[in-house]
Chains A and B, each alone.
Chain A
Amino acid sequence: MTGGAVNGSTGARDVAVVAFAQTVHVRAADNLSEVEMLMPVLREVLDRTGLSAGGIDFTCSGSCDYLAGRPFSFTMALDGVGAWPPISESHVEMDGAWALYEAWVKILTGEAETALVYSYGKSSAGDLPEVLTRQLDPYYVAPLWPDSLSLAALQARALLDAGETDERELAGIAARSRNAAEDNPWAQLGGSPGADALLESAYLAMPLRLHDVPPVTDGAAAVVLAAGDTARRLARRPAWIRGMDHRIDAHSLGVRDLTDSPSTRLAAERAGLFDPGAPPPGLAELHAPFTSQEVVLRKALRLGADTVVNPSGGPLAANPVMAAGLVRIGEAAARVSRGEARRAVAHATSGPCLQQNLVAVLESDGSEGGGGGKGVGQGQGTGTGEGPGTGEGPGTGQGEGGHT
């Protein structure tokens, strides 16, 4: 396995998420180009931190031209940043979580003090399960055109056969996620019947039913990272990245044990999630587009009853491909900043059946509880007429005393 192991807690600089914004995720943002979809979230994180595009030291984005079938769409998206005069900029053909990783490393090296990270995906333009076949092994797998649902179903079957889960547990994960999303104004789907009712539905890709699979989503997200005192200046309650790592499992599905995710476990270990004496995370935002994948990730990350999983609803409630992983980091950071947890774990994935995995551990300063102030996330301004984006989220005022 390969990957970069850099642990932010071992003498390197402290880096924090100081702002996060996401679009309202929708099935099809038909009336917007990618840059039009992206611009509001860029403006929001810049305005919130008081930074201009030219004042950001490094910009990194994540997107995939195959989603909307538009070559070099990421260069068009740069129009929304304001990239002239030339800025220091990079792009990954990956989820924005990996763009955030690159930006984090850039800050750790001392080459940047601040970074803007964004990603977007307009999956509605194509047939997503078919588009995703193009990321597979081009010699032995892609010529068979196996759609993403079928591959996830192979993994679900392996889990069922191994006794790691059952269809009722999977339905419960779906119901819990979509019910949680009712409190998330940016989610695409919210609310769910109970597991019993869900299990009455027909199979979509046996053993997966409709509720086990994520929606097709258009959406975008943006994050601002900053180092040390800059972070403290830009946000009253930054969410510190205590460690982050990403790892990959073997290329071929038939080589892997699909019921496990060694790459997630190793990334979590390198990110400091299992450090001796560290409390369990209060919450986890897991990039598990399919219900069955949450089962694998919980095991690999050793999450127990102390950890709330996907309070945002997760990718089962909104799955903007290429942004969904970055949204996990942003959601976890915003919730740490709001005081919902002192310590959180965020996870992002790429490839079929959790092939590549990124794990980030986020913490608040500890000296402050929740409450008002300038958090990193969008406010929960539903129905107030102000809307989010004010950066003056109400906070929950519920610090997790048990984890201090």
Chain B
Amino acid sequence: MKAGQRRQPQSLSHLTGRHPPLNAVPSPRVLSAPLVVEFPFTRSLGPVQSAFLSGLRDRTVLGVQASDGRVVVPPTEYDPVTSEEIRDLVEVGQEGTVTTWSWNGSPRRGQPLRHPFAWVLVRLDGADTALLHALDAPEGPDSVSTGMRVRIRWAADRAGTITDIACFEPAGDSFEPAGEREPATLPEPHTGEFADPVTGIVAPARLDYTYTPGRAQSRYLDALATHRTLGERCPRCHKVYVPPRGACPTCGVPTGEQVEVGPRGTVTTFCVVNIKARGVDIDVPYVYAHIALDGAGLALHGRIAGIPYDQVRMGLRVEPVWAESGRYPDHYRPTGEPDADYETYKELL
């Protein structure tokens, strides 16, 4: 087998050993769908972080003095060794020395530069620790080396975030004072006080996934598309799970046997929704219910319509009304049958 080659699927027999296969039913096609998880993180800052990020906004770089006298940049609220609170701020230079680097030939979304660049740890003049950032090196990796001198390139729009430093750029061999001060005077004590200090950051985050629901849920979703509801029965306790997840949480065994349930069912309990959810085009108030489909061992959730909200009751018999796409029940409506006896669904609330 060559490096990089995947082992063949027949080795999957090792997954199951002497035990019965996970599921004797042939797997349906694998369903998948894009899934984007995206949200902004809003974070508050401690006094040291606030001073540092306020400083970046005002093109000033601050460090903090650790218990052993070392100047830590970027500065932390606590000593990296002893964990003591540390507060003594100093200003450091805007040029520095690369302590290590790597070449990034294919920048990803969100990274500081769109064209190939070097990641660098830079020890700014006057600092004893290094800061991670990007180095714009248009001449490629051959122009980058440990020990090279670099300087900050400030972003045009600065808001008090680490990206106020757009990136670093080569500074040549000479010590050119990029900031206000000569390197020899650094580090220099600083109050950390800025007009209109930054007190928080909002960090957007987005991750893209391909969601695959697995065997049990794929079978369930495929069946739904043909207006059938498939549960799975536990081989030990015989409970029928809808929707199925492939395992019986009571017995901890695979639920291999598919069982068609419904289509009719019983409202076991419900609530009246009076708050309109964003992006949902349903008039309030409406009823959201637990519905035990006939033959199912537990209730699933669904909206009840086709009946005034204040007439929905426990025991109401309902049937699915399929969405226009036909792939799932949009809601459930009354069947007109007599209500179910409480004894028949009291375990399914």
Interface string of A16-27 (1 = CB under 8 A from B): 000000011011
Cβ–Cβ contact B80 & A255, under 8 A: yes
CB distance from B51 to the nearest CB of A (A): 12
Complex partner residue of B43 from A78, A139, A207, A390, CB under 8 angstroms: A139
Determine the residue in chain A with the shortest Cβ distance to B246.
Answer: A36
Cβ–Cβ contact A389 & B17, under 8 A: yes
Interface string of B191-215 (1 = CB under 8 A from A): 0000000000101010111111111
Complex partner residue of B81 from A47, A133, A250, CB under 8 angstroms: A250
Complex Cα spacing A66 to B1, Å: 32
Cβ–Cβ contact A82 & B251, under 8 A: yes
Interface string of A130-157 (1 = CB under 8 A from B): 1101100011111111110011011111
For residue B123, which residues in chain A have a CB less than 8 angstroms away from its CB? 254
For residue B35, which residues in chain A have a CB less than 8 angstroms away from its CB? 69, 125
Determine the residue in chain A with the shortest Cβ distance to B72.
Answer: A255
Cβ–Cβ contact A144 & B22, under 8 A: no
A12 within 8 A of B: no
Stretch in contact with the other chain, from A185-193, A295-303, A320-328: A185-193
Cβ–Cβ contact A134 & B250, under 8 A: no
B133 within 8 A of A: yes
Interface string of A203-227 (1 = CB under 8 A from B): 1011110110000000000000000
Complex Cα spacing A242 to B102, Å: 40
Complex Cα spacing A43 to B246, Å: 14
For residue A166, which residues in chain B have a CB less than 8 angstroms away from its CB? none
A33-B217, A161-B146 are contacts. A79–B248 as well, Cβ < 8 Å? yes
Q: B222-259: which residues lie under 8 A (CB-CB) from chain A?
A: 245-254
Complex partner residue of B250 from A70, A84, A386, CB under 8 angstroms: A84
B304 within 8 A of A: no
For residue B108, which residues in chain A have a CB less than 8 angstroms away from its CB? 129-130, 145, 147
For residue A79, which residues in chain B have a CB less than 8 angstroms away from its CB? 245-249, 252
Complex Cα spacing A150 to B99, Å: 15
For residue A32, which residues in chain B have a CB less than 8 angstroms away from its CB? 22, 214-215
Determine the residue in chain B with the shortest Cβ distance to A211.
Answer: B3
CB distance from A400 to the nearest CB of B (A): 27
CB distance from A208 to the nearest CB of B (A): 8
A27-B6, A252-B76, A254-B121 are contacts. A387–B14 as well, Cβ < 8 Å? yes
Complex Cα spacing A144 to B133, Å: 7
Interface string of A176-189 (1 = CB under 8 A from B): 00100010011111
For residue A378, which residues in chain B have a CB less than 8 angstroms away from its CB? 14, 17
Complex Cα spacing A66 to B132, Å: 24
Determine the residue in chain B with the shortest Cβ distance to A161.
Answer: B146
Cβ–Cβ contact B251 & A24, under 8 A: no
Cβ–Cβ contact A153 & B119, under 8 A: yes
For residue B133, which residues in chain A have a CB less than 8 angstroms away from its CB? 144
For residue A182, which residues in chain B have a CB less than 8 angstroms away from its CB? 1
Complex Cα spacing A158 to B121, Å: 10
For residue A40, which residues in chain B have a CB less than 8 angstroms away from its CB? 15-17, 19, 22
Cβ–Cβ contact A154 & B100, under 8 A: yes
A131-B207, A158-B100, A206-B103 are contacts. A53–B252 as well, Cβ < 8 Å? yes
B280 within 8 A of A: no
B32 within 8 A of A: yes
Cβ–Cβ contact A191 & B215, under 8 A: no
Contacts across chains A and B counted by CB atoms under 8 Å: 264
CB distance from B199 to the nearest CB of A (A): 12
For residue B74, which residues in chain A have a CB less than 8 angstroms away from its CB? 140, 252, 254
Cβ–Cβ contact B7 & A26, under 8 A: yes
Complex Cα spacing A81 to B251, Å: 8
Cβ–Cβ contact A39 & B254, under 8 A: yes
Complex Cα spacing A178 to B102, Å: 25
Cβ–Cβ contact B245 & A139, under 8 A: no
For residue A129, which residues in chain B have a CB less than 8 angstroms away from its CB? 108
Cβ–Cβ contact B246 & A39, under 8 A: yes
Cβ–Cβ contact B102 & A154, under 8 A: yes
A275 within 8 A of B: no
Complex partner residue of B132 from A2, A76, A193, A254, CB under 8 angstroms: A254
Complex Cα spacing A205 to B107, Å: 11
A126 within 8 A of B: yes
Cβ–Cβ contact B249 & A156, under 8 A: no
For residue B6, which residues in chain A have a CB less than 8 angstroms away from its CB? 26-27, 188-189
A258 within 8 A of B: yes
For residue A27, which residues in chain B have a CB less than 8 angstroms away from its CB? 6
B295 within 8 A of A: no
For residue A233, which residues in chain B have a CB less than 8 angstroms away from its CB? none
Complex Cα spacing A124 to B6, Å: 14
A231 within 8 A of B: no
A44 within 8 A of B: yes
A35 within 8 A of B: yes
Complex Cα spacing A250 to B210, Å: 34
Determine the residue in chain B with the shortest Cβ distance to A208.
Answer: B102
For residue B18, which residues in chain A have a CB less than 8 angstroms away from its CB? 386-387, 389-390
A388 within 8 A of B: yes
A111 within 8 A of B: no
A105 within 8 A of B: no
Cβ–Cβ contact B103 & A205, under 8 A: yes
Q: A69-110: which residues lie under 8 A (CB-CB) from chain B?
A: 69-70, 76, 78-84
For residue A255, which residues in chain B have a CB less than 8 angstroms away from its CB? 72, 80, 129-130
B24 within 8 A of A: no
B109 within 8 A of A: yes
Q: Could you show 21 A-B contacts with beta carbons less than 8 Å apart?
A: A2-B83, A24-B7, A24-B12, A24-B15, A31-B218, A32-B214, A36-B215, A36-B246, A39-B22, A82-B252, A84-B249, A139-B45, A139-B53, A140-B131, A140-B162, A154-B101, A158-B100, A189-B5, A250-B81, A252-B74, A387-B16
Q: Which 10 A-B pairs rank lowest in CB-CB distance, beginning with the nearest?
A: A389-B17, A82-B252, A33-B214, A153-B102, A254-B130, A145-B110, A206-B103, A69-B209, A250-B80, A79-B249
